[in-house]
Amino acid sequence: MASDSSTLTKRASILDLVARGVVLGDGAMGTMLYNRGVFVNRCFDELNLSAPSLVKQVHQEYVEAGSQFIETNTYGANRFKLGPHGLDAQVAKINREGARIAREAAGESVLVAGAIGPLGKPLEPIGHISLADAVSAFADQAAALKEGGVDFFLIETMPSLDMAKAALTAVRTVGGLPVIVSLTFTDEGATVIGESPEAVVEALEAEGVPIIGANCSQGPNKMLHTVERLVAAANTAKILAMPNAGAPAYVDGRYVYLCTPEYIASYGRRFIEAGARLVGGCCGTSPAHIRNLGRAVRMVQPVKAEPHVIRVAEHAKPTLPPVPREDKSPLARKLGRKFVVSIELDPPKGVDPSRVIEKAQECKEEEVDAINVADGPRASARMSAQSLCLLTQQQTGLDTILHYTCRDRNLLGIQSDVLGCYALGLRNILCITGDPPKLGDYPDATAVYDVDSIGLIRILSHLNRGCDLAGNPIGPPLGIHIGCGADPSKPDWDKELRRLEEKVKAGAEYIMTQPVYDPRQVEKFLKAIQYLNTPVLIGSLPLYSHKNAEFLHNEVPGMIIPEDIRERMRVAGTGEKAQAEGVSIAQEALRAGQDLAQGVYVMPPFNRVDLALRVVEILR
């Protein structure tokens, strides 16, 4: 093993230490703070400002345990993670203080790693953080860490190569310090989007990264196989291994990691025997784990061995062909063969769906083709859209279109939901980003937004190819009929068309627009997207009154009602006359798109299904 930190009179670089032998890192920071009574909903990075002595104490315990480098308490100190805590303006201060505290605890002999963790959301095209924004956020963090006195950067727990490369680009703009890049792998041995250890090593070695690692997510047992693959794939890079202390158990109201220091130490020896040259711990590990790990690795002298070939079983490719579009759902069969009609119904606010089902039955009797169900419209708490779709199909036999938002689910929840929906017979899914909670009844609710609508479409496309987002086979390919939204009235016309093109490329098979009131806008939009060769259902929301028109135009995101249309509603007055005028306006827009679109979906104002049915009377 490399020299004990206590024998170093001058700090060597991390690259020098690795060249001499195995280097011992530290363990978890968050777990230690949690065990000292810091609630999980606190911003742990902010403790650099409000409780620096507590953070320093944890660092000192790792130094005393034998760590040759300690990581700054800045894992989540980027603008995207600090923002929800109202701390995005303090990125530089939190990172500088994190580096300063670690530097004081490390003394003259122990190195300080500037810890840079992920942004918390995927990058485009799966998520909605641009590469430029990601690089900028990482660069802000790296500059402050360097100013605070770190010895090298540790880009850690990266969920994907694209985010790792963004962070790498950022720290290199700051320049002057060595860098380690470590990703997190699932128990299946891939990143969350399916990148193998071999692909990670190939990509990062091409970028000249000298030390590549795996940390977090996996416990020691699973990480050993990942480390073996990393070592076998590496030509020039050294390999880091910092596993979790297994998975946490919830005991007496607290999360407890059950891997003992002795168990971690036994795997530390195996990591080194496999070829790892930097070892330490991640979530759940403590100074006791690091002390035992240090004793164990001192007993193991790394030997030069020819790397053995690890044979990795390729993910089984779907043996069945993709489900033909016309076999996916009744709606899919009808689109392009007839002008389809769908009526939108909102889930009830309680548990009784009978009134909504009655309206769906009324639509069936009027030969409506499908019912589309909104998902928490305007960020309100209602019965789940999935449940209402299932009940509607079971009790009326009508096909349904499930609106599915990205607001409330993370990547795991999305895939679980969709698999469940498919098993229950729901086939048509409209992918939408979703209204933020601040627009609804619960403005303080947490929004997830791991992905936006384009990312959601990509996830469903993966499932339609027989694998999840990480590339793991799920069995036969699904037959999800994937829809997307569009807004013909968007002021930024070019951007809207570009995003729509991205949605179609990602796998969208039909388009449902926001309500449109100007016949000229309808025709212009439909002609502009003809090259996409994708069926379009024109959105229609008959106006109820002048007051209703003004509310929609001024207070509902995405709704643009031209001034002349609002004036027509003002002149129409109130009551039945106003409602008739609203129906006429909707019919005019529908006529304008009837020859270019493949269908219409009508949103009944105030649940007035009769008004929605009056709009589509002109189709007969």
> With contact defined as beta carbons under 8 Å apart, do 426 and 101 qualify?
no
pLDDT tens-digit series, residues 556-610: 767 889 999 999 999 999 899 999 999 999 999 999 999 999 999 999 998 899 9
CA-CA distances (angstroms) from residue 93 to 99, 427, 452? 10, 50, 31
| Whether the predicted pLDDT of 303 surpasses 80 | no
> Tokens standing for 413?
């929840």
Q: Sheet of 238-242: strands edge to edge?
A: 23-24, 278-279, 238-242, 211-215, 179-183, 152-158, 111-116, 69-71
Per-residue pLDDT of 64-90, as tens digits, reads 999 999 999 999 999 999 999 999 999
Residue 61 lies in a domain: yes
> Is residue 311 domain-resident?
no
Same domain, 128 and 237: yes
Confidence (pLDDT) at 555: 73
**Residue-wise pLDDT tens digits, 388-433:** 999 999 999 999 999 998 878 888 889 999 999 999 999 999 998 8
pLDDT given at position 422 = 97
Q: Is the dihedral of CA 27, 16, 276, 264 positive or negative?
A: negative
Question: What residues are paired with 251 via a beta bridge?
Answer: 254
526 shares a domain with 418:
yes
The verdict on 248 and 391 lying in the same domain is no
Rounded to two decimals, the pTM is: 0.68
CATH number at 118 reads 3.20.20.330
Specify whether 403 is located in the same domain as 486.
yes
Residue 309 lies in a domain: no
Phi, psi for 243 (deg, rounded to 5): -80, 165
Give the domain extent around 418.
Answer: 325-619
Q: What is the reported pLDDT for 113?
A: 97
When pLDDT is cut at 50, 70 and 90, the band that residue 6 belongs to is very low
What does the pLDDT average to over 162-169?
97
pLDDT in tens, 234-289: 999 999 999 988 766 555 555 566 678 888 888 899 999 999 999 999 998 999 99
Residues 440 and 544 in one domain: yes
Pairwise pLDDT comparison (495 vs 6), residue with the higher score: 495
Out of 101-110, 182-191, 305-314, the most confident range is 101-110
Whether 385 and 347 have beta carbons less than 8 Å apart is answered as yes
Q: What is the count of structural domains for the chain?
A: 2
- Statement to judge: residues 22 and 158 lie in one domain: yes
522-544 pLDDT, tens digit per residue, is 999 999 999 999 999 999 999 99
For residues 166 and 204, the answer to whether their CB atoms sit within 8 Å is no
pLDDT confidence of residue 368: 96
**What mean pLDDT do residues 299-314 have?**
47
The share of the chain scoring above pLDDT 70, in percent, equals 90
Of the pLDDT bands very low, low, confident and very high (cuts 50, 70, 90), residue 481 is very high
Residue 297: per-residue pLDDT: 75
- The confidence score (pLDDT) of residue 309 equals 43
**Section 292-296 average pLDDT:** 86
Q: Is residue 570 part of a domain?
A: yes
In a domain, 316, yes or no: no
Q: What's at 255, amino acid-wise?
A: Y
Residues 256, 383 within the same domain: no
**pLDDT above 50 for 319:** no
Q: What are phi and psi of 482, to 5 degrees?
A: -90, 125
CB 281 within 8 A of CB 293: yes
Domain presence at residue 78 = yes
Of the pLDDT bands very low, low, confident and very high (cuts 50, 70, 90), residue 447 is low
In degrees, rounded to 5, the angle at the alpha carbon of residue 173 between the alpha carbons of residues 169 and 178 is 80
> Cβ(483)–Cβ(401) under 8 Å?
yes
